Structure 1
């Protein structure tokens, strides 16, 4: 009898264990099912992680978050297929490229009521008329950062970078479009110039900047400027904000004669499995308090005009990060240039970097 009772108890325990395991497995499958999972593909360190947690708690969705380090890497992966990203964050010229290749979905603005919070000046840009495919996430500029301990009479215009007083003191971006763009602006041309002779002349102008060049770098620039190891550099507004947060002697200026204005944007890839969650996340990030929190964390300018009331007035009133109308009129968005023209930019910039 005891053996029979023990056997029954053991059998019940096994059944109970199997039931619990099945329940846990079902819960796990539900949590990772396409209808409950949002897959985001974004730049590295480009969102406050606390906001992802908040979104998950508010909506019940689980977020899978993957990162890329360049528009080209992101574009290649999506073009290759086999991915199920529900949201991606390309820059302006890449939005154009993705739309032409039918890699992203047209947006239903009725599902984006918080789109009304975006500054109208930052909507309906040339790379995506009427925001058919994209919603602004962050925006910023290209400018000059300098150290007030190492630079007297700091430059306010691009042409001043060529002054002999800055011999071997400048850090330049390892970016063909940015550096060729600066040379084009100093010669009165658009940053989207396609004429070969004009581009060759810009490279020749750029060559004369080599005596003032300490290094042509990427993210390494931050360390040089933060540690007072370089006097000035060409950089993006968000990176400038990060450096200035470390070193109070650093300042950022956007030359009023013109520069690049860039946009990073939410888009929904054609292969998205959970568009409902994608729209929910975009709306969540467009809520003013969430947009302000994200801008505080990332350091870039928010396109959300309602979010500004939650940000430090010192930041909002800083014309380097939120340029005035006069400067905005002279800022240009990079266009998606033909492949052959892009190659010309890259070849000429490589020639500049090999200059001795």
Structure 2
């Protein structure tokens, strides 16, 4: 099951080029033998985010034979589509990647006359900033970027400033992820996480350089466990399965959306250009918009559903109260959707190089 501990936010152009070379060696999903002998659906999704139970129920109801291939970064998925021989009918990009795929003309506008259940989505996922009018994507799951702390070391915390506090020198971790780190640095210096202003990015870079001497390290893997054992006092964190399990199991560990805002991420369904099985793709989109199906994303996948009406169908009621799964509306009122920085990416890349070398 994927958690945000393995999420890649944005790769450099060099990394993307390498990925493009790697993924072209992968097999075409159309070559996979189907068991149904009839209609087919090929999906390319984040590992663990579309539970097997959802796929099996869809196949049983529709008779459509579903193949799900998985990826572990948006860049891998984008490179696969760019190769021109992907053969997928649905993909699951994150919000900023929707913007990139639209710009590269790799996904097609949705035909909303064929979609039922959009009104089941929570308000913040209808007409989002990254995809006005949900023209290209239907959000499926969501989460946040914030931080977590162990109250045996940090009595209480509500601000990103905790991660920049000299009192916790050697016991603080930041995510080893460029734009995730800049979310904290931009907001702690008074800017928005979506800023593309060169001066604001420079100020954030300086904050990260100053912070680095306080850190135990950059860590995007086992920081929840380090918090649980007390080896870490505080750590920047993604919501999701790994963090949620530690919060549920250890009363001393708390996940927080910082008062400065933090950020919201979402992964949704989009139809690639050249998709062959669009009827099946729209059937699956409509299937996932049903509240009882959307609830399975939480019960069987450990993720927060974008479907507001799904909450009443979630069996694991404790998950609804776990802030590392479902952040409250109050907690995310100032949160930003992390967007594609476009031309400003060079400022982040230059700054991150300086931070890592400092």
Q: TM-score range by the shorter chain?
A: 0.7 to 0.9
**Please, what TM-score do these two structures have when normalized by structure 2?**
0.84
Residues 198-227 of structure 1, C-alpha deviations (whole Å, 9 max, x = no match)? 212211111222233112122232443344
* Structure 1 residue ranges without an equivalent (≥5): 1-27
Measured in 1, the distance between the counterparts of 2:252 and 2:180 equals: 25
CA distance in 2, matches of 1:301, 1:101: 29
- Equivalent residue, structure 2, for 1:214: 216
What is the match of residue 98 of structure 2? 95
CA distance in 2, matches of 1:152, 1:31: 55
Contact 2:163 2:234 in 1 (8 A): no
Shift of 1:135: 0.4
Which one of 47, 50, 58 corresponds to residue 47 of structure 1? 50
**Which residue of the partner structure matches residue 235 of structure 2?**
233
Residue of structure 2 equivalent to 1:303: 306
2:274 matches 1:271:
yes
Report if aligned partners of 2:247, 2:324 keep a CA contact under 8 Å in 1: no
How far does residue 326 in structure 1 lie from its aligned partner after superposition? 4.3
Contact 2:186 2:192 in 1 (8 A): yes
Match for 2:145 among 142, 153, 165? 142
Match in the other structure for 1:111: 114
Q: Compare CA radii of gyration and give the structure with the larger one.
A: 1
Conserved 8 A contact 2:150-2:228? no
Aligned-pair CA distance for 1:121 = 2.6
Aligned match of 1:261 = 264
| In 2, Cα distance between equivalents of 1:231 and 1:142 | 17
Give CA-to-partner distance per residue, 1:236-278, whole Å, 9 cap, x none.
Answer: 1114214324544321010122111111111010121111111
Q: Are residue 249 (structure 1) and residue 255 (structure 2) matched? A: no
Q: Pairwise CA RMSD of aligned residues?
A: 2.2
Question: Is 1:350 matched up with 2:353?
Answer: yes
Q: Which moved more, 1:244-253 or 1:257-266?
A: 244-253
Kindly indicate whether the alpha-carbon contact (under 8 Å) linking 1:200 and 1:348 is maintained by their aligned counterparts in 2: yes
Deviation at 1:284, TM superposition (A): 1.5
Q: Quick one: distance in 1 between partners of 2:216 and 2:173?
A: 6
- Quote the residue 1:174 is aligned against: 176
Say if 1:48 and 1:105 are closer, same or farther in 2 by CA, change over 3 A.
same
Contact map agreement 1:38 1:274 (CA 8 A) in 2:
yes
Contact kept in structure 2, 1:71 and 1:94, CA below 8 Å:
yes
**Are residues 1:332 and 2:320 paired?**
no
| Cα offset, 1:338, TM superposition | 1.9
* TM-aligned CA distance change 1:167 to 1:222, over 3 Å: same
Q: CA–CA distance in 2 between the matches of 1:320 and 1:30?
A: 38
- SS of match in other structure, 2:306: coil
Q: Is the 8 A contact 1:225 1:231 kept in 2?
A: yes
Q: Could you say what secondary structure the match of 2:163 adopts?
A: helix
State the secondary structure of the residue aligned to 2:258.
coil
Which is richer in helix? 1
Give distance in 2, aligned partners of 1:225 and 1:316: 22
CA distance in 2 between counterparts of 1:264 and 1:68 reads 13
> How far apart, in 1, do the equivalents of 2:33 and 2:303 lie?
37
Question: Using the alignment, how far apart are the partners of 2:235 and 2:353 within structure 1?
Answer: 19
The count of aligned residue pairs is 325
Match of 1:10 in 2: none
Matched, 1:289 2:292: yes
Where structure 2 has 5 or more consecutive residues not aligned to the other structure, the ranges are 1-31
Distance 2:57 2:215 in 1: 45
- Residue 81 of structure 2 corresponds to 78
1:205 and 2:207 equivalent? yes
Preserved contact between residue 37 and residue 274 of structure 1 (Cα < 8 Å): yes
CA contact (8 A) 1:254 1:320 kept: no
SS of 1:329 mapped into structure 2: coil
Distance 1:79 1:95, change over 3 A: same
User: Are positions 1:155 and 2:157 aligned together?
Assistant: yes
Counterparts in 2 of 1:32 and 1:105: CA distance versus 1, 3 Å:
farther
1:92 deviates by: 0.7
- Asked if the contact 1:316/1:322 (under 8 Å) is kept, the reply is yes
Deviation at 1:64, TM superposition (A): 1.0
